[in-house]
Chain A
Amino acid sequence: MSTPAQVMEQVETQPIHPPPTSFWRKYVFSIDHKVIARQFLWAGLLFLLVGGTLAMLIRWQWGFPYQKVPILGDVFLGANGGLIGPATYQKVFTMHGLIMIFFAVTPVLIGTFGNFLIPLMIGARDMAFPKLNMYSFWTFALSQALVVASFLVDLGTAGAGWTTYPPLATNVGTPGTGQTLVVAALFVTGVSSTMGAINYVTTVIRLRAPGMTWMRLPLTIWGLWLTAILNALFIPVLGSAALLLLLDRSFGTQFFIAGAAAVRGGGDPILYQHLFWIFGHPEVYIMILPAWGIVGDVLAFFARKPHHWYRGSVWAMVAVTVLSAMVYGHHMFMTGMSPLLGEAFMLFTLTISVPSMVVVLNWLFTIWKGSIRFTTPMLFALGTMFVFGVGGLTGLFLGDISMDLYLHDTMFVVGHFHFTMAAASFMGAMTGLYFWLPKIYGRKLDERLGKVHFWFSIVGFTVVFGGQLLVGWAGQQRRLFDPFQYTFIQGLRGLNQWTSIFAFVLFAGQFVFVWNFFKTVFGKAEAAGRNPWEVTTLEWTDTTSPPPFHNFDVIPVVVRGPHEFANPDVKRLLGRDWVGQAEKVPALEEAPAAAAKA
């Protein structure tokens, strides 16, 4: 352990790279984690718009099949008379999935919050490898460029589903440069994520401020750190799958080609599914862990009450991380695997529901008997709880082989993952944005507009994704250009149409957020102040909004956990219901140590 003098030396002299002076170094090729976070934010939000538009095209086709698409039809589908055809349709749902997962949710949830919050919340001046951080953003931008390029080539962009299963995704099934460009884009974005992961993992381990023990980290950091570990381990497996697929497409190799096109016995399409889902299942946890962390912290902050059983949530998140790769086979129950293997995967899948329930019930016990302030971030956090609850419960059906016999590849699966990945991750990201925007840009988003945005979103998500669950329950398959070719689906026309209408309303409601965001960032708005939410973590208590280049004038020394609210001693001594993580209150010195052990 360090002497007090050593601690003070460390506190005052934690080094920082020199501040940038030129325009290029300040705003374009910046190595400042706060600038890089904003770059990811804009890049992600832009592609969120693109992905959302693609979703509207899907809903149009199901709600109003074979009718000319309004507005966009003339612009993008002119060659086909403004109509979506089967070949275009498969590109639309493929790119909707890919863009939303890799180019919208990932940069916002992980790129933005990871970059912005990790150094600030742990009390560091920047990431461990600032230059690597910059490369990680520009690599990501390159992958986005590849996606854009794929739309512009002959034969158009990828069309084999976001899962890109071969043999459909090989030259046999989907010829053309577009699919190749998209697989390359996947590989490149994987490189970017891995670079980021190396940074996040190392930074949290090495650069925590004095006194910031593991069990005093905000849950947001736990979520982001565990996500980074999963990224570091499993994105490379996707990389290997993408690499082999690229080899099959471009060099004539036979990893995944089977059937009539096989040479000397051919490869194994199921091999791809193994590689893909060994990445793919951890990927869904990658997309939810940061949201879990953010929601955990925000619920405590606005219930003005310590997070219930903090350690339980930490261990639960760790358990989910460890188990995440062991459940991947539940995506492959129908492929013809050995029954024993299937049953093992089912067992693990049912097991992973246990730590998830710990996380959710801890949230519930946190707000219970709290003093809830219904601010916009709190509304979104509660909304995340709701949609994740629905999504998680529907997972029970799918993790079970018998029920999967019927439900696999139906819209029930789509509803399940939209509730968990789209709604919960999205609402978690919005929780974070509404909460931390004052710290990122120095101004608060408008509360009233925020609440309107919230209600559009929660009602919209519930109805639209609930509609998906309902049609899936009735047996409607995924990825059908025209579901009503099947007689047994014809009774679902009305349900599909209403779902589409609500989807358009949901989409329109997002523009309330867009308006709010632009108005706040670029318009006249009052300064938010250091700690407008009156919460305890270092980025609020120990620096300005926004923070200066070097984050902290003095590196804080942490003395307690992140959720010290409602403590009657604090009320008595300080006259408020919260005390900061690094706030020295001599009369409280015994209490924080005891509280940190709880």
Chain B
Amino acid sequence: MGVASSTAAPRPPGGLLPGGRVIPFRRRGEAATAWLGMVVFLGSWAMMFAGLFFSYGLVRLRAPAWPPPDQPPLPLLLPGVNVAVVLLSEGALVLALRRLRGGKPRPAAAALVAATLLGATFLALQTAVWVSLWDAGLRPDGGPYASVFYALTVFHAIHVLVGLVALVWLAARSLAGGLGPTRLQALRLWAMYWHFVGAVWVALYLAVYVI
């Protein structure tokens, strides 16, 4: 397609300027760029959740009675415990990052593992809630109330799962040999994600379970 690919000799990673000068591969300011990218990314996800919360609001406004009288009531305890679990997990992650910055890799790894286990606990408790409601007769095809409940909670849980997989991987690497600069950057970014997912949970808990 007419693209000229210039040199024949093997190139150093990064490339060559004319005159033999080398263009290095690692960027300066890369951390800030990655941070900004993550912010935009989270902004997009926030808008998607906003669409779902908007849907919840409109469906609820239009419903003659909420909750509908013949639907099983939503539990308050386990999801409430999950709020605590989420906040603790976020706290552990913040602690891990602080310890890493302070040059204490082993305690940091411990905090990271704690954050991961708490994340797994969240999913386990959420699953318990779903199972109990399913057995009580709340099914996705049971009308708008059930639709909204399952859509919001399942969609959120999928996001938690994605973050959890990342945390598991990072925790494993942290235990194995510590986190190098690239993985530390990744951890910072995933921490932002984790905070986002936690904030959505708090909003979800208040909007769906409490109010």
**Chain A residues within 8 Å of B, Cβ to Cβ:** 12-19, 26, 34-35, 38, 128-129, 132, 194, 197-199, 201-202, 205-207, 232-237, 239-241, 243-244, 247-248, 251-255, 263-268, 271, 274-275, 278, 441-443, 521, 544, 546, 548-550, 553-554
Q: Report chain B residues within 8 Å CB of A244.
A: 52, 55, 151
Q: Are A521 and B2 in contact (CB under 8 A)?
A: yes
Which residue of chain B is the closest to A266 with respect to CB atoms? B144
Which of chain A's residues have a CB closer than 8 A to the CB of B147?
247-248, 253-255, 267
Residue contact B143 to A265, C-beta cutoff 8 Å: yes
Number of A-B contacts (CB under 8 A): 166
Cβ < 8 Å to A, chain B residues 181-209: none
Please tell me if the beta carbons of A275 and B54 are within 8 angstroms of each other in the complex.
Answer: yes
Q: Once the chains are docked, how many angstroms separate the CA of A267 from the CA of B55?
A: 10
Please tell me if B77 contacts chain A, counting CB pairs below 8 Å: no
Contacts of A549 in B (CB 8 A): 5-6, 15
Say yes or no: A18 contacts B25, CB within 8 Å. Answer: yes
Cβ-based interface call for B73 (8 A): no
CA distance A235 to B36 in the complex (A): 19
For the complex, give the distance between the alpha carbons of A145 and B12 in Å.
Answer: 38
Q: How far is the CA of A266 from the CA of B146 in the complex (A)?
A: 11
With A255-B144, A264-B142, A268-B62 as given contacts, are A554 and B2 in contact (CB-CB < 8 Å)?
A: no
Q: Which of B27-35, B96-104, B105-113, B119-127 contacts A (4 or more CB under 8 A)?
A: B27-35
Interchain CB contact under 8 A, B18 and A553: yes
Q: How far is the CA of A253 from the CA of B140 in the complex (A)?
A: 5
From residue B18, how far is it (CB to closest CB) to chain A in Å? 6
Contact check, A198 vs B41: say whether CB atoms are below 8 A apart: yes
A237 contacts B33, C-beta separation under 8 Å: no
Give the residue name and chain of the A residue nearest to B29 (CB).
A206
Chain B residues with CB below 8 A from A205, complex form? 36
CB-CB nearest in chain A for B148: A255
B17 touches A554 (CB 8 A): yes
The contact sample of 12 A-B pairs, CB cut-off 8 A, is: A202-B37, A206-B36, A233-B43, A235-B44, A236-B47, A240-B50, A243-B52, A264-B143, A267-B147, A442-B2, A549-B5, A549-B15
Contact B29 A275 (CB under 8 A): no
Residues of B within 8 A of A19 (CB): 5, 11, 15
Do B37 and A128 touch (CB < 8 A)? yes
Give the bracket for the number of chain B residues in contact with chain A: 35 or more
**Is A268's CB under 8 angstroms from B58's CB?**
yes
What is the bound-complex CA distance between A15 and B17, given in angstroms?
11
B64 nearest CB neighbor, chain A only: A265
Knowing A16-B14, A202-B40, A207-B33, the reply to whether A247 touches B140 (Cβ < 8 A) is yes
- Chain A residue nearest to B36 in the complex (CB): A202
**Is the C-beta of B1 less than 8 angstroms from some C-beta in chain A?**
yes
- Secondary structure at chain A's binding surface: helix, strand, loop or mixed? helix
Determine if A548 and B4 form an interchain contact, defined as CB atoms under 8 angstroms apart.
Answer: yes
Could you say which residues of chain A place their CB within 8 Å of the CB of B150? 253
Q: With the chains together, A194 CA to B47 CA distance in Å?
A: 11
User: Any chain A CB within 8 A of the CB of B51?
Assistant: yes
The chain B residues found within 8 Å of chain A, CB to CB, are 1-6, 11, 13-15, 17-18, 21, 23-27, 29, 32-33, 36-37, 40-41, 43-45, 47-52, 54-55, 58-59, 62-64, 68, 70-71, 140-148, 150-151, 155
Residues of B within 8 A of A232 (CB): 40, 43-44, 47
A217–B144 CA distance with the chains assembled, in angstroms:
49
A278–B54 Cα gap in the complex (Å)?
11
A276, chain B: closest CB distance, angstroms: 10
Partner of A239, one of B25, B51, B62: B51
Closest B residue to A191 by beta carbon equals: B44
Q: Which 6 A-B pairs have the closest CB atoms?
A: A240-B51, A252-B141, A264-B143, A253-B147, A236-B48, A236-B47
For A253, list chain B residues within 8 Å (CB).
140-141, 144, 146-147, 150-151
Taking A18-B15, A265-B63, A265-B143 as known contacts, 17 extra A-B pairs with beta carbons closer than 8 A to each other, sorted by chain A number, are A15-B14, A17-B25, A18-B13, A38-B1, A128-B36, A232-B43, A236-B47, A236-B48, A243-B155, A254-B143, A264-B144, A267-B59, A271-B55, A441-B2, A443-B2, A546-B4, A550-B23
Q: Which residues from B are CB-within-8-Å of A267?
A: 59, 144, 147
Whether B23 lies near A16 (C-beta < 8 A) is: yes
The answer, among B13, B23, B33, for a CB contact under 8 Å with A14, is: B23
Cα distance A19–B158 when bound, in Å?
Answer: 37
Shortest Cβ gap from A436 to chain B (Å): 14
Partner of A12, one of B21, B54, B144: B21
* Cβ-closest chain A residue relative to B53: A240
List A contacts of B55 (CB < 8 A): 240, 244, 255, 271, 275
- Residues of B contacting A35 in the complex (Cβ-Cβ under 8 angstroms): 3
Residues of A within 8 A of B4 (CB): 544, 546, 548
Residue picked from B21, B52, B70, B141, most chain A C-beta under 10 Å? B52
